[in-house]
Chains A and B, each alone.
Chain A
């Protein structure tokens, strides 16, 4: 399998399961992390092609993790989609400021999320 890898950092098992099932029928490879620190460590180890980062995470927030990854040359160029809690609350601006490539408001439509991933990272 030489599919492109996507790291999803998310602490809610149902959301993880949903994205897992969403990507199961695509060529993308999914790797998972369940807190901010683990997300940063996994990203530095695995160097995925794209990162989905939830904004609220245990141990380290999604915004802090994004800033850490942007600061590291190994991960600085990886596209990061930050999953914000609510588009109108100003989280989108905070996500952009932290270095997010794009943001997606939660609750997101799986269809729209997949579209956004495909735009940033062509499947083939």
Chain B
């Protein structure tokens, strides 16, 4: 099998060669049988001929006996009339002998010639006997017949018997040889058929197993690869299509191994980078938290001293200094808001922001926001209504953070509206609280609706300058709402206004917090 597998030929060529070999053997066997049949038929002909010769010899014997008989008859009747019959029998004898001579073997020719010579002599004697009978010398004729013709005939008969014997022996030999030939032929045919079958079976077995073995190996190899063992190799002795296939499979396995390795390395690298990134992100958040705290201390002094100046603790403030001092105060407060937002955000991102859960009144939340921002609404000449159902029960959550969220939304609404009104509704829907803040402001373009809750996102930097927001309020609001297990979204129409919604559970599940 290995030897067949190692033959450098295609599967097609191997199969073809196998079939061709078997076919040639079959043809060879056919030719052999045809030859045998021809031989047997020629032997049959020989047998027929031998049979015929025996027949002829017997006819000669018969003709001889008849001659003897007619001679005796002529003597008995003392008439030469029967000589005619003798001649006729002689003719039959001669004709048959001639035929025998023609078909005779060289060793028989001599015997036949001797018969012939004896017959000529016998016929001469017959003529003499006939003459003697005609002349009435019957006694002489009888003597001649007894002394000469009879021994002559006996001699001829002896020869003929010899001939018949020979022919019969020849026929027997021929018959025996034909039988032997038949037997041999039968044995030869049977054994070649058996050999042919054996060769065909062997060829089939060897060729098919030279294909099956690599297929089995490939099967084992592929299951190894499927299990992730890319280091496996397949090794077949085949130098045909299966050999090429095995080489391709090894190449494939190597490639897979290489890909797996590089992918593995890549993923490890990615994991390492991700860890680094997480650490960096955490470090950044920690840094921001600390910085915000450090920033707060000087802010305390700045805002404190300015306030004390404006409160005239250091004496009267000249009129022309009051405006710049107020500007310092306004910007200081804005800076403080920024610091607060950054602190919140960094705490959320560092995972250090925790909600302080307690029962709180939704009505108080709305009232706090309303009183804090009423003056701003008045200042801008905007309508400001805040409606909340009186029968909403105490909520559970971080009331201060929810206040901060509503404050951010209402503050934005007032900031971005130049005229019209800002409305706040809070209602209970089943287990949830729905907060709604609607304004008649500038609106938000559709493509910005998704991004508006991202960090440092405002629709337009020009607007940021005009309305001076930190850009962090919505992001922080979204995060607090989500920390409460709620969600926030906005519906808006450019130029007509926006409505912000957030929905949070009325009573937060403690499990959600942990």
Within 8 A of A (CB), among B405-450: none
A18 and B311 contacting across the interface, CB-CB below 8 Å:
no
**Cα distance, A110 to B302, chains bound together (Å):** 11
Indicate if the CB atoms of B404 and A108 lie closer than 8 Å. Answer: no
User: B304 contacts A110, CB within 8 Å?
Assistant: yes
Closest chain A residue to B306, Cβ basis:
A110
Asked if B400 is an interface residue, CB under 8 A from chain A, the answer is yes
Partner of B301, one of A12, A88, A90: A12
Contacts of B134 in A (CB 8 A): none
Q: Which of B297, B308, B314, B400 has a CB less than 8 Å from the CB of A12?
A: B297
- Contact call A107/B343, Cβ cutoff below 8 A: no
| Chain B residue contacts of A59, Cβ below 8 A | none
**In this complex, what residue of A is CB-closest to B353?**
A89
A18-38 to B contact mask, C-beta < 8 Å, 1/0: 100110010000000000000
Q: Is the CB of B301 within 8 A of A86?
A: no
Task: Give the contacts of A105-121 with B (CB-CB under 8 A).
Answer: 106-111
* Count of A-B residue pairs with CB < 8 Å: 61
CB neighbours of A22 from chain B (8 A): 304, 308, 313
Total chain B interface residues with beta-carbon distance under 8 A: 26
Q: Number of A residues contacting the other chain (C-beta, 8 Å)?
A: 20
Contact of B311 among A14, A89, A107, A111 (CB under 8 A): A111
Q: Which residues of A contact B182 (CB under 8 A)?
A: none
The minimal Cβ–Cβ distance linking A80 to chain B, given in whole angstroms, is 19
Max chain A Cβ within 10 angstroms of own Cβ: one of B307, B336, B340: B307
A63 to chain B, nearest CB (A): 15
Is the CB–CB distance between A107 and B308 below 8 Å? Answer: no
8 Å CB contact of B401 from A88, A93, A106: A88
Is the Cβ of B308 less than 8 Å from the Cβ of A18?
yes
Complexed CA–CA distance, A89 and B352 (Å): 10
- A residues with CB within 8 A of B: 12, 14-15, 18, 21-22, 25, 56, 85-86, 88-90, 93, 106-111
18 A-B residue pairs with CB within 8 Å: A14-B298, A15-B300, A18-B304, A18-B308, A21-B313, A22-B308, A85-B296, A86-B296, A89-B343, A90-B356, A93-B356, A106-B297, A107-B300, A107-B303, A107-B336, A109-B303, A109-B304, A110-B313
